[in-house]
Amino acid sequence: MRIGIIGPMEEEVSLLQAAFTIKEEQVIGGRTYLVGSYHDHEVVLVKSGIGKVCAATAACVLVNTFKVDAVVNSGCAGSISDQLKIGDIVLSTKLAYQDFDLTIFGYQRGQVPSYEQYFEADHALVAKAEAVAAKLKSEGKFKTPGTSALQIVTGTVLTGDQFISQKAQSLAMKEFFHEAQMVEMEGAAVAQVCTDFKVPCLVIRSASDTASGESPEDFNEFVQLAADNSATLLLALIDAL
């Protein structure tokens, strides 16, 4: 099985790159794709850059050029749930664009014409990741900034080309996406590409900040912690596939 991995930023790919045995580098469209292995599994890792177009471009290349069997988008995100704290992990079951709005034409908020409102992650990947995450948690492998226990949940991840830093913004999104847990800038674009090409996908996100009005400061402090939590889970997931 060949697994394509997308991380938007350096912090989100550094731990993964260090763990992989890199055999080849290919530069396509200005992005460097690292082809290698992790234990007995083939991997292709790319730092996509931030935002929906960057993520979609990277996903297209992984699927069409490198012929990956599954795509995982790993990294950090902002919590928009009152129940989630910094470091907590969400495994995507559904993804949607929070900034796509054709409601004036009768579509649901976030719905792209000819698609459903939500893109779905692969159920088997979600279940496998959930089991792996539970084991890692029991072994104390994840990081938290305080003493509270880390939470791992499945749920809805929202995507948009905005950094959400105000409570009012998260509350507005919850009006349209009641079950949303986190918001970031790439996942739904990856899921849309994988839907088009019928390739299984999963988005793993650890909370680096909360939409409380202080998110930029939170993000700068906790981005590496969150990125490492996501990468730790991803590495264990690859071993379990």
Q: Which of 11, 186, 209, 228 is catalytic?
A: 209
Q: Of 49, 45, 46, which is closest to residue 9 (Cα–Cα)?
A: 49
Pick from 89, 207, 87, 91: which is nearest to 148 by CA?
Answer: 87
| Contacts with 226 (C-beta within 8 Å, 6 or more apart), sequence order | 75, 76, 77, 86, 87, 205, 206, 207, 208
Establish whether 12 is a catalytic residue: yes
> Among 11, 12, 88, 218, which one carries the catalytic annotation?
12
Q: Is 209 a catalytic residue?
A: yes
Closest CA to 181 of 78, 107, 104: 78
- What's the CA gap between 41 and 212, in Å, rounded? 40
Buried b (16+ CB within 10 A) or exposed e, 153-184: bbbbbbbbeebbbeeebbeebbebbeebbbbb
Catalytic positions: 12, 209
